[in-house]
Amino acid sequence: MDGILPLYKEAGMTSHDCVAAIRKIIHQKKVGHSGTLDPAVEGVLPICLGNTTKVVNYLMTKGKTYTGKIILGEASETEDLEGKLIAREPLSKPFEINRIKTAMQALTGDLIQIPPMYSAVKVHGMRLYEYARRGLPVERPERPVHIYRFDFKQTAFDENSGLQTIQFEAEVSKGTYIRTLAVDLGKQLGVPALMAQLTRQSSGGFTISQTIRLNEFAEAVSDGKIESYLFPLDHALSDYPKIEISTETWSRVKNGGFLELPGETEAVVALTYQEHIKALYQRKRDDIFKPLSMFLENEGIRP
C-alpha cells in the first residue's frame, strides 16, 4: 500500500505506537511517521506508507501549527504535566493581557532553543531522556528554530491555586519544542511555567480536518475504502515548481543523467512524467541540473 495518511494521533499513544498499529492493520512493514509527537500530545501525524516513506524528510520540513495551554506558576522536570514538579510560585495576581502578548511577541522570529532533557534528541548516540532517567550529566545542543507566530487566545486565573492559564496558538518551524516555548514564556514574565495541553493542528501540509483516527482507518481498510483517505507522494513535494518531461528526457532521468533546463530560475524543481513526480533535480551550475531525490516508482496511490 502506497500513500500518505494524515492520522489523528490520540493522547496516550507514542508516534511509534501509531506506526506499529498501522503496520498490523495493513500487514506491511514499510510504514513511517513524519515527526514525533509526545505521548500526551494529540493531533496531526502524517504517516507514510510504502514508497511514500521516501518523502518523510520533505514532510518534516513543512511548518507546524499548534494550539494549547500554558500554566504560569509551576515548573516540572519534563516541562509539561507529565513530569515531577520542580518549582511552584503561586501568583498573587494575574498578569495583564498586554504584558503577556508583549512577552509572546518577544518569542517570535529566529530563536535558539535548548531541547528539554526529556526529549528524543540524540547526543553521542544516546537520547536525552535516557541521560535524564539515568541521572547522567550531558550538554544539550542548541538548535535554531523559527517561530512564525505565537498568538494569545485567552487567559484564566485561579485565585485558590495562584496559577494562571494561557491559551495560545503557535506556528513554528521544524524542530521547535512547544514545551520549551512555554518555559521561555515564563522566563520572559519571571515566573515558572509549563505546558499543560497541546494539540497539533497542522503538519506536513495537512490540517486536523483532514485526519482520520486509528479505528476509522482500520474500518476503512476492512471495507476496502482506504484509498479516499490517502494522499499521493506528490503532496509532500507540492512546494516545488513542476516541469513535465518528455519520454526521451524520462529515459535520461531514469539513469540519473544531468539535464539542461534553460530559463529555470528555481534552485530545485520537480520533474513529472505521466502526471506523477519522478524526481527532484537541483541546480549544479548555470542551466545544468543534477538529481537530488529520485521517486522513479511513483505512480500515485496504490491501495
Query: What residues act catalytically?
Result: 38
Residues 6+ apart with CB under 8 A from 38: 80, 82, 179, 198
Where are the alpha helices (H) located in 61-127, listed in sequence order?
A: 97-105
Strands 242-244 and 268-273: parallel
* CA atoms within 13 Å, Cβ hemisphere of 9: 32
In order of 74, 129, 259, the CA distances from 251 in angstroms are: 62, 48, 11
**The cell 496511490 sits on which residue?**
301
What is the distance between the alpha carbons of residues 114 and 111, in angstroms, rounded to a whole number?
10
